[in-house]
Amino acid sequence: MSNLQMRDATVDDAATLAAIYNPFITETVVTFEETVVTADDMAARVTTLQDQGLPWRVIEQQGRVLGYAYAGRWRSRAAYRYVAESAIYLGEASRGHGLGTRLYQDLFGQLRARGLRVVMGVIALPHPASVAFHERLGFRQAGLFPRVGYKFQRWIDVGYWQLELS
């Protein structure tokens, strides 16, 4: 895919972000949210993270947002101030073209520039494609929590993957 651009998300992107995210809520266990989000919900999320000095990035082609990635604080205690938790979502037609790799690499550069040292990826298991994606980018498994998530009337394991940025 050519003519790709990465930039900071804005509140004007909120409806598109919600449209990308909502199928993950209704059809998968990739997220443990169970209620679809509105454009206003997404606008508030973008603003909240950016007001904390954290990146929310979009990848677009010819002005059309194809996906997004962001990082939030992993934990609230001061000792964890150099650790972020990342998330990435691509529209269905945009998957499998290397856009996730490019978007995450951009996000990691943003985090390094802000002085963060570690990124945590949280994966509902089993999800071999997500595990392979994270490990291709250098993440290593750091923990497994059996049956801590519950969605679609079933218990779900959650794994933590860790990437050292520096």
Quote the strand ranges of the chain, DSSP E. Answer: 4-8, 56-61, 64-73, 83-90, 118-125, 140-151, 154-164
**Domain total of the chain:** 1
Tokens 């943003």: give the residue: 110
Domain of 114, CATH number, reads 3.40.630.30
Task: Kindly tell me the burial class for residue 71, based on how many C-beta atoms sit within 10 Å of its own C-beta (0-12, 13-18, 19 or more).
Answer: buried
Domain around 34: 4-164
pTM: 0.95
Q: Is the confidence at residue 83, as pLDDT, over 90? A: yes
pLDDT, one tens digit per residue, over 47-80 is 999 999 999 999 999 999 999 999 999 999 999 9
pLDDT, one tens digit per residue, over 111-165 is 999 999 999 999 999 999 999 999 999 999 999 999 999 999 999 999 999 999 9
CB 162 within 8 A of CB 142: yes
Residue 72 corresponds to which tokens in the numbers above?
């939030």
